[in-house]
């Protein structure tokens, strides 16, 4: 049994923790308060995906487009990535190529070669709040287009998921994966039961999660969908890496591109899926916007 070595970065009121395992940003705290949430029972020995933080889902999401793939969410969140030189505001950067996945469970589902680079950056703090940027770059070294699914599966820390409001999805069509039915969002999203929805929107105007005096913002780039997930009480009770009642403490709002809205990386080209997460205090309906 190994214990994963955490990478820790502390600066200017920020505390970030990450692991090479899955290139996984596990925690982001600002002035001591969690913004990106890590389960206290997360498995940190390399034997499983880390519950919480921002799991990187690639090259498929869930069980994949036909529902027949494992491991869940692709095979890059459970392998060790290589640290790369950082640039500008990057705190960490990692690389991984498909060749290194030979022999891993699920490698038989890879549809073509790829080279990945993933970077976590902290933007300068400002009056607007604190901002963290996550950027996945997928390069296709082959002469044929590469079709993949991807998601930045951020677990946002909230006081109570039962009272949050997610703005920015009004009017978006979505698949409710719990019931298997399709709908169109009317107004803000509030959560009252197990929620697992895939919204067909690039969310270019950004998303705001309002929670107990804080505004958490999610600004996707290169996404074609947004996933909103919380397992709620019954499903959470079956998850061994979530303590009892911990499901109150997070809502996943994920920049994604799945199914027929997946990413297409042109021959010898690159595609980017990115997301900027922000936090600020709200008063009297004030909102923040990403810089
Ligand atoms: O337990 P995991 O494999 O990390 O997946 C956790 C969840 O991720 C996404 O939000 C999916 O839409 C859900 O269907 C899934 O249950």
C-alpha–C-alpha distance, residues 174 and 56, integer Å: 22
Which residue of 54, 62, 161 sits with most ligand 1 atoms within 8 Å of its CB, as the best mutation to test the pocket? 62
Question: Which residue's C-alpha comes closest to atom 7 of ligand 1?
Answer: 229
Q: One of 27, 135, 149, 254 is an active-site residue; which one?
A: 254
| Band of pLDDT at residue 284, cut at 50, 70 and 90 | very low
Q: Ligand 1 centre from 108 Cα, in Å? A: 22
**For residue 291, is it within any domain?**
no
Q: Whole-angstrom Cα distance, residue 267 to residue 144?
A: 5
If you count them, how many residues does the chain have? Answer: 291
Q: Residue 283 and residue 291: Cα distance in Å, rounded?
A: 19
Distance 52 CA to ligand 1 centre (A): 11
User: Does residue 72 have its Cβ closer than 6 Å to ligand 1?
Assistant: yes
69 C-beta closer than 6 A to ligand 1: no
Number of structural domains in the chain: 1
Q: Per the domain annotation, does 2 fall within a domain?
A: no
Q: Which atom of ligand 1 is nearest to the CA of 239?
A: 1
d(CA 271, CA 114) in angstroms, rounded, equals: 11
In a domain, 11, yes or no: yes
Q: Write out pLDDT tens, residues 216-241.
A: 999 999 999 999 999 999 999 999 99
Residue 161: Cβ within 10 Å count: 22
Helix (H, G, I), strand (E, B) or coil at 108: helix
Residue 234 DSSP code: H
Q: How far is the CA of 62 from the centre of ligand 1 (A)?
A: 6
Centre of ligand 1 from the C-alpha of residue 43, in Å: 16
Q: Which of 21, 24, 73, 153 is catalytic?
A: 153
CATH of the domain at 121: 2.70.98.10
Give the SS3 label for residue 282.
Answer: coil
| Joined tokens for residue 266 | 């042109």
For residue 34, being part of any structural domain is answered with yes
Determine whether the shortest distance from the Cβ of 149 to ligand 1 is under 6 A.
no
- Is residue 83 a contact partner of residue 94, using CB atoms and an 8 Å limit? yes
What φ, ψ does residue 238 adopt, rounded to 5°?
A: -90, -5
289 inside domain: no
Higher per-residue pLDDT: 179 or 213: 179
Residue 161 included in any domain: yes
Q: Are 80 and 21 in contact (CB under 8 A)?
A: yes
User: pLDDT-based confidence at 2, cuts 50/70/90?
Assistant: confident
Pairing of strands 130-139, 270-281: antiparallel
**109 alpha carbon – ligand 1 mean position (Å):** 19
- Please give the model's pTM, rounded to 2 decimal places: 0.96
Residue 287 lies in a domain: no
With a cut of 50, say whether residue 289 has pLDDT above it. Answer: no
Q: Is residue 109 annotated as part of the catalytic site, yes or no? A: no
How many angstroms separate the CA atoms of 140 and 256, rounded? 19
Q: ipTM score here?
A: 0.98
Q: What is the dihedral of CA 33, 230, 20, 72, to 10 degrees?
A: 180
Asked about 10 being catalytic, the answer comes back as: no
Give me the chain's average pLDDT, please. 95
> Partners of 140 in the beta sheet?
none
Tokens 């006081």 — which residue? 159
Which residues form the domain of 273?
A: 7-281
The pLDDT score that the predictor gives to residue 1 is: 65
- In a domain, residue 1? The reply is no
pLDDT(285) > 80: no
Cα dihedral 32, 246, 197, 252 in deg (nearest 10) = 20
**What are the percentages of helix, strand and coil residues in the chain, rounded to 5?**
10, 45, 50
């Amino acid at each position: 049994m190994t214990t994963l070595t955490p990478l820790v970065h502390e600066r200017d009121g920020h505390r970030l923790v990450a692991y090479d395992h899955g290139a996984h940003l596990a925690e982001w705290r600002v002035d001591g308060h969690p913004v990106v949430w890590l389960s206290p029972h997360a498995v940190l020995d390399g034997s499983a995906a880390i519950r919480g933080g921002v799991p990187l889902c690639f090259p498929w999401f869930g069980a994949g487009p036909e529902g027949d793939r494992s491991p869940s969410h692709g095979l890059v969140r459970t392998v060790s990535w290589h640290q790369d030189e950082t640039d500008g505001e990057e705190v960490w950067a990692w690389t991984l190529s498909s060749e290194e996945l030979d022999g891993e469970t699920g490698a038989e589902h890879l549809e073509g070669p790829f080279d990945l680079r993933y970077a976590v950056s902290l933007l300068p703090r400002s009056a607007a709040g604190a901002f963290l940027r996550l950027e996945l770059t997928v390069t296709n070294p082959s002469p044929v287009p590469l079709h993949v699914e991807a998601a930045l599966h951020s677990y946002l820390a909230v006081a109570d998921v039962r009272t949050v409001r997610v703005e920015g999805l009004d009017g978006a069509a979505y698949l409710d994966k719990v019931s298997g039915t399709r709908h169109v969002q009317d107004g803000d999203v509030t959560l009252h039961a197990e929620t697992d929805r895939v919204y067909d929107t690039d969310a270019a105007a950004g998303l705001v999660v309002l929670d107990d005096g804080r505004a958490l913002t999610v600004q996707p780039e290169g996404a074609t969908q947004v996933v909103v997930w919380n397992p709620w009480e019954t499903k959470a009770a079956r998850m061994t890496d979530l303590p009892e009642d911990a499901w109150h403490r997070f809502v996943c709002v994920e920049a994604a591109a799945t199914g027929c809205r997946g990413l297409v990386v042109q021959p010898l080209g690159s595609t980017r899926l990115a997301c900027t997460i922000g936090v600020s205090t709200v008063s009297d309906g004030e909102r923040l916007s990403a810089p």
